[in-house]
Amino acid sequence: MLLLALLLLLPASGALAKVPGLDAPSPATPVIAAQDILAQIRSGEPQNYDNVTVVGQLDLGQGVETVKQSIRITNSVFQGSVRIEAVTFAEVLDLRGCVFEDDVSFVKSVFQKDAKFSGARFQKQADFAETYFQGPASFISTLFQSDSSFSNAQFRGDAVFLDSGFASDVDFNYAKFLSSGSFWNANFEDVSFFETQFAGQVTFRAAKFRGNATFAATRFGSDVLFRAARFGRGSTFGLSSFGGLADYGNVNFKKTAFFGGVKFADLAYFANARFDGDLILEGARLYSMQLDNVTFNGSSKINLNSTDFSKFVVHWSTIRDRMVYNGAAYLALVKNYKSLEWFDEADECYYQYRRIGQDQAPWGWGKLSDIISWLSCGYGVRVSYTAFWCLFTILIFGVIFWAGKGMNKFEIEGVELPGYQRQKPSKRVSFTDALYFSIAMFTTSQAPVNTYPVGVYKHLAMAEGILGWFFLGLFVVVLSAVLIR
């Protein structure tokens, strides 16, 4: 009977093992004391742990200056603080996927090989100030839930912060990225890159800056990409320098974008960007800036005061109502549009420059001459204004001569036919004749051979002749300026 029972149980347990999705329960996570790890490091033993819990404070700053063996502790939890300061790691340090529940400090440490922190989560403060990364530094999908610092850190290898998240303040002030850097799709709260140096290419593509983003006095030695990034609050790039391409295409600036005093040595590409606040370029030095299809909010302004640029590609219709008035900035834009062969936009820009200047000028002979220049020829760029005044002058004087009977025709003897009194010329000229007389006076200052003004209208005819010389001369000058270019 016992043998039979065993035979019946064996198939049943085999069937149970093949049921999909039914796994045996995992053993409890191993617990390791921080002191044991320190003892192994001091003894020179390589560390290789996965999915463990480290309890106690891990303080490697006392008595250990160089760690010569590789350390690999992955997918683990550090319950106590980690203090590894002024320590040199000669081999790879791999802490991928670890959770640090207390403060972490790697201040002044040196990583001669790879430093792997991808997927790690720092729940408290993380301090990498003055840290030296000689090899690649990997912080892919790393989450910093509290304040963190990389100030004065130096990255000689590639620095990869792809998909990383900074839920609180983080500063990279005075840090040096001597190779490439990647912050693609990173998420920042308040971040500061004050006087940071990027020697190689760096990308902030699709990065999200929810708080204030400070890149003041930052030096970008090569290309930098901010394409499709989002700046939720103020963004400051004041006094920064860009040695290569600066790609801000499709970037959204929710607040003021401050680029005062920046230097773009290559193309600054802002095509399809959106500015919900002001764009400040005061004192900037631009080699070539492209603002095709940019969008400004209704109240946004653009400040080009003291800006020096060789090429500024933006249509006048985009910025015409947003310019902070500065005479030198307007004239520089006029010159820029002419170099781009956008002559109509150059005229529009110059017209607005003169119009605003006239409104702000105090009353005097200068303002009066500006008003005359505005009305007569649109400051020399509106030939239609002069054409209008030519036609208007001819018409109004023709009406005056006709309605006031201000002109007569000569009656030549022998013209009348006996018995046909209706064919005798009338002394009252027709409106057509008056208009013809007005045209002749306006263009030649001489009346037709068979008509003449009478009374006070002689003086009006002389005045029309003077106006004719003035407006015709002005029309030729303005039209020539338009045609010659």
Is residue 276 in some structural domain?
A: yes
Residue 438 belongs to domain spanning: 383-484
Is residue 118 in some structural domain?
A: no
Is residue 127 in some structural domain?
A: no
Domain boundary (299, 326, 360) is at 360
Asked if 211 and 335 sit in the same domain, the reply is: yes
CB 115 within 8 A of CB 142: no
Q: What's the maximum distance between 2 C-alpha atoms anywhere in the chain?
A: 161
Asked if 279 and 407 sit in the same domain, the reply is: no
CB 135 within 8 A of CB 160: no
Is residue 259 in some structural domain?
A: yes
Asked if 261 and 320 sit in the same domain, the reply is: yes
Q: Which of 70, 63, 73, 67 is nearest to 34 (CA)?
A: 73
Asked if 217 and 314 sit in the same domain, the reply is: yes
Is residue 128 in some structural domain?
A: no
Asked if 334 and 455 sit in the same domain, the reply is: no
Number of domains into which the chain is organized: 2
Asked if 398 and 354 sit in the same domain, the reply is: no
Asked if 352 and 415 sit in the same domain, the reply is: no
End-to-end CA gap in the chain: 114
Q: What's the rounded Cα separation, in Å, for the pair 240 and 281?
A: 12
Domain boundary (360, 392, 426) is at 360
Asked if 289 and 223 sit in the same domain, the reply is: yes
Asked if 431 and 316 sit in the same domain, the reply is: no
* pTM for this model (two decimals): 0.81
Sign of CA dihedral 154, 157, 158, 159: negative
**Neighbouring residues of 237: CB distance < 8 A, sequence distance ≥ 6:** 215, 216, 218, 257, 258, 259, 262
Asked if 212 and 315 sit in the same domain, the reply is: yes
| Each residue's pLDDT expressed in tens, for the chain with a length of 485 residues | 333 333 333 333 333 333 333 333 345 689 999 999 988 888 888 889 999 999 999 998 666 789 999 999 999 999 999 999 999 999 999 999 999 999 999 999 999 999 999 999 999 999 999 999 999 999 999 999 999 999 999 999 999 999 999 999 999 999 999 999 999 999 999 999 999 999 999 999 999 999 999 999 999 999 999 999 999 998 999 999 999 999 999 999 999 999 999 999 999 999 999 999 999 999 999 999 999 999 999 889 999 999 999 899 999 999 999 999 999 999 999 999 999 999 999 999 999 999 999 999 899 998 899 899 999 999 899 999 999 999 999 999 999 988 888 787 765 544 444 454 444 444 567 888 889 989 988 998 887 767 888 888 888 989 999 999 999 999 998 888 877 77
Long-range CB pairs of 301-306 (<8 Å, 24+ gap) are 302/278, 303/278, 303/279, 304/329, 304/332, 304/333, 305/329, 306/282
Is residue 323 in some structural domain?
A: yes
| Paired tokens of 272 | 């399809």
Is residue 131 in some structural domain?
A: no
Q: What's the rounded Cα separation, in Å, for the pair 280 and 51?
A: 51
Task: Provide the CATH number for the domain around residue 446.
Answer: 1.10.287
CB 115 within 8 A of CB 137: yes
Q: What's the rounded Cα separation, in Å, for the pair 182 and 117?
A: 15
Is residue 234 in some structural domain?
A: yes
DSSP state of 404: T
Asked if 355 and 396 sit in the same domain, the reply is: no
Asked if 355 and 404 sit in the same domain, the reply is: no
